[in-house]
Amino acid sequence: MASVTAHNVDRWLALGREIAVDSRWWLENSGGEVKIVILISVSEAEKRIHLEKWEMESFPNQGAKSASPNAPTAAPAKTQEVDIVGDVVTGGPLHLAFEKLMLREPRPGEGDIVFDTKELEQYAAFVWRSTQ
């Protein structure tokens, strides 16, 4: 088993920052074609899976000096976190809006994708079986 050192922690923190920057890049530079970014990190040593959902969120544009100073500003934001440690899920269910995934309104019989606690537990079990 690898030991935890300051160097290892720094590397993981840097990787985490890089991945968060990547999610922001996809949202900001896709011309509106990417509406949701899902980040998944797996720690086999901790038996931990961490999921983050990032989306463009509108915020009040306070104090802006533009033609429409009260127009909202859109920025990437982490809108949901789910942690699975062992087989314990917190932060679920994971909810993905159909329109943001498919870039269209749902047709009859279609709808949002929701991964409930049981499905997230099954996902974690699959991940842990795959790492053995």
What pLDDT sits at residue 33? 87
Bigger pLDDT: 123 vs 12: 123
- Which tens digits make up the pLDDT trace of 71-112? 678 889 999 999 999 989 999 999 999 999 999 999 999 999
Per-residue burial over 2-30, b if 16 or more Cβ lie within 10 Å, else e, is eeeeeeeeeeeeeeeeeebeebbeebeee
Torsion sign across C-alpha atoms 105, 110, 113, 117: positive
The pTM is what? 0.75
**Tokens 């309104």 sit at which residue?**
105
